[in-house]
Amino acid sequence: MRDIRLLDQMFLPGMLIGPFTQANPGLGGVCTFVGEVRYDEGVEALELTHYEPLTLPGMHALADRAFERFTLMGLLMVHRVGQMRPGEPIVCVSAAALHRRDAIDAVDFCMDHLKSAAWFWKREKRGGEWHWIEPREQDHSDLARWQS
């Protein structure tokens, strides 16, 4: 079961994870990560922009790599675009597998790549003004973990 989506409206991860788990009968384990907009000091809103021809195809290519690299039964990868407020879910990745290590590692792999290599541009609103968020060195070291 493979479900890769971009959403422009708020979503409830629990509404996705239940059906996803049900859709993979016989699984041995399911691992889910949900990322939310942090309550950082002074942040009023976060906005993610994407580029339609690249962003969703890039997420599908990432899912392909996860299926090649790990022994998975299913993968759910849902990412928000548009404006969000602190506390709103921004990303949900869930992997179902016969064995826990594949599920846990697949989620970790997808999250590291979504955070640092997916086609999203992020800006945050502080004091009524928007500020673009630049890539961080940590993102590159997160990716380097998987280059073996």
Partner 1 sequence: MLGKLADLAQAATIDLPLPMSKPLDWEGLKAALPSALAEALDDPRIRVAINGALLPNKTKLQAGAGDEIALLPPVSGG
Provide Rg for the chain, Cα atoms: 16
Please identify, using beta-carbon distances, which residue of 30 and 48 lies nearer to partner 1: 48
User: Quick check: 122 binds partner 1 (CB under 8 A)?
Assistant: yes
Task: Dig out the tokens for 103 from the structure.
Answer: 């599920």
Closest CA to 74 of 111, 28, 36: 28
Tell me the per-residue interface mask from 77 to 116 with partner 1, x by CB under 8 A, - otherwise: --x----------xx-------------------x--xxx
Pairing of strands 74-80, 2-7: parallel
Positions 44 through 63 that interact with partner 1 (CB under 8 A): 48-49, 51-54, 57
Report how far residue 120's alpha carbon sits from residue 122's, in angstroms, rounded to the nearest whole number: 6
Binding residues for partner 1, per CB under 8 A? 35, 48-49, 51-54, 57, 79, 90-91, 111, 114-123, 132-135, 139
